[in-house]
Structure 1
Amino acid sequence: MTQRLTPATAALLTLPPLLWAGNAVVGRLVSGLVPPITLNFLRWALAFALLLPLAAWVLRGGSPLWPRMRRYALLGLLGVGCYNALQYLALKTSTPINVTLVASSMPAFMLGLGALAFGQRITRRQVAGAALSIAGVLTVLCRGELAQLAQVRFVPGDLYILLATAAWAWYSWLLARPDDPPEIRSDWAAFLMAQLVPGLAWSALFAGMEWGLAPQSITWGWPLAAALLYVAVGPAILAYRCWGLGVQRAGPNVAGFFSNLTPLFAAVLSAAFLGEAPHLYHGVAFALIVGGIVVSSQR
C-alpha cells in the first residue's frame, strides 16, 4: 500500500475535513428542527436521489453489487448508517468544536486498528506524527493552558463521537483493502451508490427506532431545506468522493492525520456562524497538526 503524499492528494484529503466541520456546525444549527438520526436518514435519502442519474445501473438485477452485498452492507453500516447518525446525536449535547476535537482521536484508531486487525507495522514517524497531532488537539482542548485540562468535563455526546470515530476508522481500512468488482471500483458514483443501497436501509431502521422510542417532530422550512442540501452534497457526496480517493492514494494511516484538521476548521466556522471567535492557540494547534501530517507521511 502506497504512503506517498503529493500536493493533489493532500488537497483531496483537506477538503473533506473542511466539509465535515461545516457538517458539525450545520448539525448543531438544526438540532432543534429535526431529530439527529432522522437528519442522517434524510441526508442520505437526498444523496441517493442525486446519485441515481449517475449510477442507476448498480440497482439492476445483474449488477455486480449483489454478489458483494456482505461487503457493501458493512461499508454502508459503518460509513452511512452509523458515523453521521452518531455525530448528529453527539451534537445534541456537545458543541461542534468539542465533537470534532474528540473525533481527532482518529489517528490513534487508525494506527491501532491497522496494527491489530490488518497487520500494519507502526513506524516511528507515524508515532511521532500522532504525538504532534494529539498535542495540537490538547492545545485546543486546554485553550493554550495545560492547567485547563484538569477542568475539562465530557458529556454523553463525547462517547457517541468516540464510537463514530471507531466506526470511521474501520470504514477507512475497508476502503484501503479493495474487494470490489472493477465496474464499481472504477466509477466513484457507483461505488458510493453501492454503499448507499444497504446504508440507506440501515439509516431508515435507526430512524424508525428513534421515532419508536420517543415522540419526535420535524420543523420544515427553508433553514432545514438548505441544511439538508448542504449536508447531502458537500459532506456526503463530495467529501466521500475525495476521502475515498485520498485513502486509496496515501493509505489510511496518513489520511487519518488529515482528519485532525476538522476541529480547526470547526473553530473558524463556529466563529463565523455561531459567534465563537478563534484564538491564538488555534493557530498553534494548526501548526502542530500540520506538522504531524508532514512527519507521518515522510518515507
Structure 2
Amino acid sequence: MHSRLTPSTALLLTIPPLLWAGNAVVGRMVHAWVPPMTLNFLRWAIALVILLPYGGFIFRKGSGLWTSWRRFAVLGLVGVGLYNSLQYLALQSSTPINVTLVGASMPVWMLLIGTLFFHATVRGRQIVGAVLSIAGVLVVLSRGEWHQLMAMRLVPGDVFMILATISWSFYSWMLIQPKDPKEIRSNWAAFLLAQIVYGLIWSFLFVAGEWSVGDAHIAWSWALVAALLFIAIGPAVIAYRCWGTGVQRAGPGIASFFNNLTPLFAAIMSSAFLGEPPHLFHAAAFVLIVGGIIFSSRR
C-alpha cells in the first residue's frame, strides 16, 4: 500500500527527470568521444568508487550482496546494465529531445508489465493517461507527419530507447518487491552499490563485445572527464537515490508519469547547449504527455 503523493515525494520524483535530461544531453555531446557501452561502464565505475565509503560493508563475507546475488544480478542488469547502455546507444543516432520523448512511453510499459508480471491493479484513469502519453510518443516517431506512421520511419535510436524503457519498467516494479536483506534495504547507498556491483559485471560484458566487433576508441579530454563526473554523480547516484525512494513511497504507476517531465527539461537543455531547438511537433507531443500526467494523477 503506497502513501498519497506528498510535496516531498513529488520533489523526489522531479529531481531524477531533471538529471536524466542532463544525462541525455551530455550523452549526445560526448557520443563521438566514447562508445556507448564504454560510457555506461565508466559512469558506474565512478559511481561505485563514490559509494564505497557509505556502503562498502556489503562486501564482507555472508552479506546480502552474496546471499541475494540473484536478485541484485537482475536489478543490476535491467537498471544499470541494459537501461543506461541502451539509452547511450540510442543517442548515437537520435537527439536528446527524441530519446526522452520516446522514453515518455514508460507509463504504458509500466502498466503492461505491472499487470502481466507483478499482479498490479490498473485504474481507468491510468489507462487514459497512458493512451495520451503514447499518443505523444507517436507524434515524435512520426515527426509530426501522421502518414509516416504507416511507413514506420523509426531511426535505430528510437527502437533502442523503447527497449531501454521496457527494461526500466521491470526495474521500477522490482524495487518495491520486499525481497532484500534488511541490512542492505535500510541503507540506500548499500542498496544502490549492490546493484552497481552486478551491473558493472553485465556492463563489462557489453564493453567486451563493443570493443571486439567495432572500431571503438576513446578521445580523452578534460571535457570528457567532466562529463563522466557529472553523469556519475547526478544522473546515477543522486537520481537513483531519489527515484528509488519516490517509487517506494508513491508506487511505480504514479512515479512513471513523472518520468515524462524529462522531455521538457531535455528540450530546454538541448536548445541551450546543443543548438537543437524543439519543433512544433515536439510541443504537441509534450502537451499530450502532460495531459496524461494530469489525468492519471487525479483522484
The TM-score bracket by the shorter chain reads: over 0.9
Alpha-carbon deviation of 1:100? Answer: 1.3
Alpha-carbon deviation of 1:198? Answer: 0.8
**1:285/1:153 Cα in 2 relative to 1: closer, same or farther (>3 Å)?**
closer
1:245-260 aligned at under 5 Å gives the runs 245-260=245-260
The equivalent residue for 2:72 is 72
Say whether residues 1:2 and 2:2 are aligned partners.
Answer: yes
C-alpha contact 1:99 1:157 (8 A) present in aligned 2: yes
The equivalent residue for 1:195 is 195
C-alpha contact 2:108 2:134 (8 A) present in aligned 1: no
The equivalent residue for 2:131 is 131
The equivalent residue for 1:273 is 273
C-alpha contact 2:94 2:157 (8 A) present in aligned 1: yes
In structure 1, what is the Cα distance between the partners aligned to 2:145 and 2:212? 45
Say whether residues 1:36 and 2:36 are aligned partners.
Answer: yes
**1:3/1:141 Cα in 2 relative to 1: closer, same or farther (>3 Å)?**
farther
C-alpha contact 1:80 1:199 (8 A) present in aligned 2: yes
Alpha-carbon deviation of 1:298? Answer: 3.2
In structure 2, what is the Cα distance between the partners aligned to 1:180 and 1:89? 31
The equivalent residue for 1:53 is 53
The equivalent residue for 1:117 is 117
Q: Secondary structure at the match of 1:65?
A: helix
Unaligned runs of 5+ in 1: none
C-alpha contact 2:132 2:292 (8 A) present in aligned 1: yes
1:141-290 aligned at under 5 Å gives the runs 153-278=153-278, 285-290=285-290
In structure 2, what is the Cα distance between the partners aligned to 1:286 and 1:93? 21
1:10-21 aligned at under 5 Å gives the runs 10-21=10-21
In structure 2, what is the Cα distance between the partners aligned to 1:102 and 1:147? 18
**1:67/1:84 Cα in 2 relative to 1: closer, same or farther (>3 Å)?**
same
In structure 1, what is the Cα distance between the partners aligned to 2:141 and 2:3? 30
In structure 1, what is the Cα distance between the partners aligned to 2:286 and 2:215? 42
Alpha-carbon deviation of 1:215? Answer: 2.9
Q: Secondary structure at the match of 1:32?
A: coil
**1:141/1:8 Cα in 2 relative to 1: closer, same or farther (>3 Å)?**
farther
C-alpha contact 1:3 1:254 (8 A) present in aligned 2: no
Say whether residues 1:83 and 2:83 are aligned partners.
Answer: yes
Letter of the aligned partner of 2:220 in structure 1?
A: W
**1:288/1:8 Cα in 2 relative to 1: closer, same or farther (>3 Å)?**
farther
TM-score calculated relative to the size of structure 2 = 0.93
Alpha-carbon deviation of 1:153? Answer: 2.5
In structure 2, what is the Cα distance between the partners aligned to 1:297 and 1:216? 45
Q: Secondary structure at the match of 1:260?
A: helix
Alpha-carbon deviation of 1:271? Answer: 0.2
C-alpha contact 2:141 2:158 (8 A) present in aligned 1: no
> Cα deviations across residues 63-110 of structure 1 (Å, max 9, x unaligned)?
222111100000001111111111111111111111112211111110
Q: Secondary structure at the match of 2:178?
A: coil
Unaligned runs of 5+ in 2: none
> Cα deviations across residues 204-257 of structure 1 (Å, max 9, x unaligned)?
111111111123111111110011001100110011011101111111111111
In structure 2, what is the Cα distance between the partners aligned to 1:160 and 1:278? 21
Alpha-carbon deviation of 1:121? Answer: 1.9
**1:121/1:88 Cα in 2 relative to 1: closer, same or farther (>3 Å)?**
same
TM-score calculated relative to the size of structure 1 = 0.93
Paired positions, count: 299
> Cα deviations across residues 166-209 of structure 1 (Å, max 9, x unaligned)?
11100111002121112111111010001011111111111111
**1:142/1:205 Cα in 2 relative to 1: closer, same or farther (>3 Å)?**
closer
Greater shift, 99-108 or 70-79, is seen at 99-108
In structure 2, what is the Cα distance between the partners aligned to 1:70 and 1:40? 22
**1:44/1:251 Cα in 2 relative to 1: closer, same or farther (>3 Å)?**
same
C-alpha contact 2:37 2:206 (8 A) present in aligned 1: yes
C-alpha contact 1:99 1:158 (8 A) present in aligned 2: yes
In structure 2, what is the Cα distance between the partners aligned to 1:228 and 1:24? 13
In structure 1, what is the Cα distance between the partners aligned to 2:116 and 2:190? 31
Letter of the aligned partner of 1:153 in structure 2?
A: R
